[in-house]
Every structure is written in C-alpha cells, then in structure tokens.
Amino acid sequence: MSKRFIVGNWKMHNTISQAETLIRDILSDYQPNPSVELAVAPPYVALPSVARLLASSTMTLAAQNVYAKDEGAYTGEVSPPMLKELGCQYVIIGHSERRHIFGESDQNINEKIHAALHHGLHPIFCIGERLEERESGQTHSVIQNQLQAGLSGLEPKDLKNVTIAYEPVWAIGTGKAATVDQATEIHAVIRSTLTTHWSLDPEQITILYGGSVTADNAQTLFQSPQINGALVGKACLNSESFVKIAECAGLDL
C-alpha cells in the first residue's frame, strides 16, 4: 500500500460560514503528505464554498449522498452530474444512517453506486453489522451479503474505483471503536470476498475503517496492514483532531 485515504464525514454539521472556517483551519494546520489522500464530505449546501477553498490544495471533495437518477421529479434529491460539476470526486453511499434512518435498501445502494461510477464519481461504499448481528455471530455473513448486493452487476474494472468503508454500526458515534483485531478480521473478510467473487488483486482494494475513529486511537488502527485509511465522523469536525488523524495515517509509509 503506497497511500492511505482519510475522509471526514461532517454529516449534518456546519453552516456555510462554519464550513469555510473549518476548512481554512485544516488547510492552515495540515502539511500535505504524498502518502496520504485527505478528503472532506460537507453537507450539500456547503459544497460550493468548500470546493472553492480546496481548489488550490491537495485535498479532495466528497458528497455525503447521491440519487441514482440524472434528473427528474425527485424533490430534494441531488444527482451525480450536479455533484460532478461542483467538483466532487467521491460520494459516500450506503452509510448506516442512510440505511437505518432513511430506509435505503441494498437495491437503492446498488443503483447509486452504478450511477456514481457512470458519471466518474468514486463511491465510498459503507457496510457494517449491528450489535445484535455481531453478538449472534452473523458478522461475516452480513458483510458478505452487503458486499454482494451493493456491488451486484459491477465488473472488476469498476471496483478499482470503489472504496469500501467498514463501519460497524455499534461503533458509530458511540465512542466505542472496534479493536484493531476486530477491524483487521473484517477487513480481511472483505478483501477475501472481493478477491473471490470479482477476481481482484487484494492490493488494489482500498478499505477504510470507520466508527469512533479519534486522534487517540488512529495510530493504533493504522498499524494493521489491512486498514488503508479511515472514514472519520465526530473527530473531523475539529481541525486539530482531524489533522492529527491525517498525520498518523502518514506514519510508517
């Protein structure tokens, strides 16, 4: 692995002015590292302002969601061409909050991944098990089923443009991150599943860990060769902690 990938998912935080302040702080505090790609995913309304501030930087822009159609009578939705024109390179798809709060199905997620790829956007495809699924020993089957359903119909060449984010639902926003051993085990399952079903080279698969990633546990997580980066939630809303996570990602590479 030559590069780690760190993505800050702001969720529904920061007005436009607050977003501008945070980005300026990050750009001021962070010294770019060629072995780390850093991306931020602000709310839709802040994307144009953040895109302008990132224009002369090495940081990249992601959206938090997308709709699977190019246009039409879909009130409140945002299409892949709209995100592409704003300068987004990535889009988060299948986050557990979209699945469990807004009822997105595996089919919805699969359609979004296809649409994003069709327009040159790189999906960050989120998967993960609930606490009751882990406790009942279903983690491996849940992960494998989510992968196969979400990526159905894709060719190996398409999957080279997809980043997988393993986010155990029980760890998101709870302050209780998976242990390195737990995360490493599931990352290995993901890599094996993609290798088996799509004949991918394991080295071509980028897998992030997400779920209560902090400046304190990032360095430990990145010691695992299976973990290629992080999808960061709460800790990315503070410049100091987000930059520290990015700096940890650049160590030993």
Q: Among residues 78, 13, 82, which one has the least CA distance to residue 42?
A: 13
167 is annotated as an active-site residue = yes
Find the catalytic residue in 95, 122, 187, 247: 95
The phi, psi pair for 207, rounded to 5°, reads -125, 125
Q: Among residues 178, 249, 213, 240, which one has the least CA distance to residue 5?
A: 249
* CA 63/CA 45 separation, integer angstroms: 10
Supply 127's token pair: 């998967």
Q: Among residues 16, 85, 60, 52, which one has the least CA distance to residue 163?
A: 60
Find the catalytic residue in 97, 129, 167, 247: 167
- Count of beta carbons in the 10 Å neighbourhood of residue 145: 14
95 is annotated as an active-site residue = yes
Cα dihedral 17, 243, 186, 136 sign: negative
Residues with catalytic function: 95, 167
